[in-house]
Chain A
């Protein structure tokens, strides 16, 4: 069975501080996908990133960066120089790698609420 754990339920920072969100996952699959989604106050889940399990290269997109370490089953997310607009709930998720008609249902973590104060 798959499991995703986000140990931090809430993080509060002051604007311009960096914030790192932890994500640890469990799966018996040797290949899989990992994701991060953002849920702003408006409610919808906004896709941020998808990574294949065989690609451990870290990725940077603007102020966002992701550190994937297969050896520790972690996929951490860092927001650099946080802004008030980054305030949201962030979810880490996992899915099967195999493309199949049965679909790729997502297994989510509990989410981390980030509050960025001005």
Chain B
């Protein structure tokens, strides 16, 4: 079974440009999470989808970030316009059933390393 995949693996852009990151969760997983690690610091939660709905976007840093999950399958995270402080590694994770009676393990993708020059 394929794991969580993310594209691209690495993106280098200039300040002010737009970048779109993609995450494909494990098939059948309704929960999808975005996290990021900036400047070697802790990994921080950005937002959580249940299917196509944003359940919690309390971690989104500002309105330059837009996440979508149309159709409840893959998700995109767009940064527009990118700033220097957006550089970091963006992780996506998925888990199975938001209404399960037991804990749903989050499975992480390899991350997208974003460099803003």
Contact residues of A with B, CB < 8 Å? 4, 33, 37, 42-47, 50, 91, 93, 99-111
* Bound-state Cα–Cα, A84 to B15, Å: 39
- Select B103's contact among A45, A101, A104, A109, beta carbons within 8 Å: A104
Whether B48 contacts A103 by the Cβ 8 Å rule is: yes
- Select B105's contact among A47, A107, A110, A111, beta carbons within 8 Å: A47
Given A99-B100, A101-B98, is A44 in contact with B50 using a C-beta cutoff of 8 Å?
Answer: no
* Bound-state Cα–Cα, A8 to B41, Å: 12
Whether A105 contacts B110 by the Cβ 8 Å rule is: no
Whether B31 contacts A103 by the Cβ 8 Å rule is: yes
* Bound-state Cα–Cα, A58 to B33, Å: 30
Whether A44 contacts B109 by the Cβ 8 Å rule is: yes
> Which single residue of chain B is at the shortest CB-CB distance from A101?
B98
With most chain B CB atoms within 10 A of its CB, the pick from A42, A101, A105 is A105
Bin chain B's interface residue count: 35 or more
Given A101-B50, A103-B31, A110-B42, is A50 in contact with B103 using a C-beta cutoff of 8 Å?
Answer: yes
Contact residues of B with A, CB < 8 Å? 3, 9, 31, 33, 35, 37, 40-45, 48, 50, 55-56, 59, 89, 91, 93, 95, 98-111, 113
Question: Could you give 18 example pairs across A and B, Cβ below 8 Å?
Answer: A37-B108, A43-B9, A43-B113, A44-B3, A47-B106, A50-B105, A91-B42, A101-B99, A102-B55, A103-B33, A103-B50, A103-B98, A104-B106, A105-B56, A106-B45, A108-B35, A110-B41, A111-B40
Chain A residue numbers with a CB within 8 Å of B106 are: 47, 104, 106
